[in-house]
Amino acid sequence: MTLTLSRRQGEPGQEDTDIPIKALAAVRMNRVSKTYKSGALEVDALRGITAEISYDCFSMVIGASGSGKTTLLNLIGCIDTPTGGDIEICAERPSKLTDNAVSAFRARNIGFIFQNFSLVPVLSAYENIEYPLLLVGMPQAERRRRTLAMLEAVGLERQAGQRPNQLSGGQKQRVAIARALVKGPQIVLADEPTANLDSATGASIIELMRQVQAEFHTTFIFATHDPQLISHADETFVIRDGELLEHRRGGAQ
């Protein structure tokens, strides 16, 4: 497979920079908290999380259901805002940006992989993968080159013209991975990406993500409740009841 998906010039994590990529933090969180209000009821989803997530790592956020994993990923993905503390993503503070600027920031820098795949049902696998490139205004020829390369990378060249309802769960998640990676984002967030898959397919998806992460040097942040997946991680964040219990380098401990 010959695949080159370069990042944009002048952005953090750029390969020709003088600063070693791993020396920078893709995500910096300083006493980040998130409280949901429902009438008089207040629920603390995150409580004072302080952590740094390195570039070019396969990081895993692990915790039971309701522990705050998804909320943490939402904040990192700039689709939600903290109620307290400060968060910095790829050297940018989303809280200082307008809604449109945050959207543009997401379009350039962040890829999402969802538990339920969340593909656009009326678009083919090819079109789903191509979609994020349209959002960053990439020329047609380059879009085509990258999309075909990603289809090849996830092993779905033959399914390029198929719609999501014609794909299996594993194939859908492969399309989702390709869609998240095709624009060469700084960070890919994967929220329980194997939860809706059988164990064999889930394992192959983990394997694929690990492979493309190594190949594209993208920061992967992977949320799961399954402790068995820890062995795949470069670094692990264990959270419980909205608090960071443990941060350890390497997963297999």
Summarize as ranges the residues that interact with another protein (CB under 8 A).
Answer: 74, 77, 79-80, 99-100, 103-108, 112, 114, 116, 118-123, 127, 131-132, 134-136, 179
Please give the Cα distance from 25 to 46 (Å, whole number). Answer: 20
Minimum CB distance to another protein smaller for 119 or for 244 = 119
HEC states along 180-205?
HHCCCCCEEEEECCCCCCCHHHHHHH
Minimum CB distance to another protein smaller for 37 or for 200 = 37
Give the helix/strand (H/E) hosting 86: strand 84-89
Please give the Cα distance from 236 to 240 (Å, whole number). Answer: 13
Please give the Cα distance from 143 to 72 (Å, whole number). Answer: 31
Going across the sheet that includes 243-249, the strands are 110-113, 187-191, 219-224, 58-62, 235-240, 243-249
Minimum CB distance to another protein smaller for 47 or for 143 = 143
Of the candidates 247, 237, 245, the one whose C-alpha atom is nearest the C-alpha of residue 75 is 237
Least CB distance from residue 110 to another protein, whole Å? 8
Please give the Cα distance from 228 to 251 (Å, whole number). Answer: 10
Minimum CB distance to another protein smaller for 27 or for 233 = 27
Least CB distance from residue 79 to another protein, whole Å? 4
For 163, the 3-state DSSP assignment is coil
Least CB distance from residue 107 to another protein, whole Å? 2
Please give the Cα distance from 64 to 234 (Å, whole number). Answer: 20
Please give the Cα distance from 231 to 229 (Å, whole number). Answer: 5
Minimum CB distance to another protein smaller for 110 or for 233 = 110
Minimum CB distance to another protein smaller for 85 or for 132 = 132
Least CB distance from residue 103 to another protein, whole Å? 5
Minimum CB distance to another protein smaller for 138 or for 233 = 138
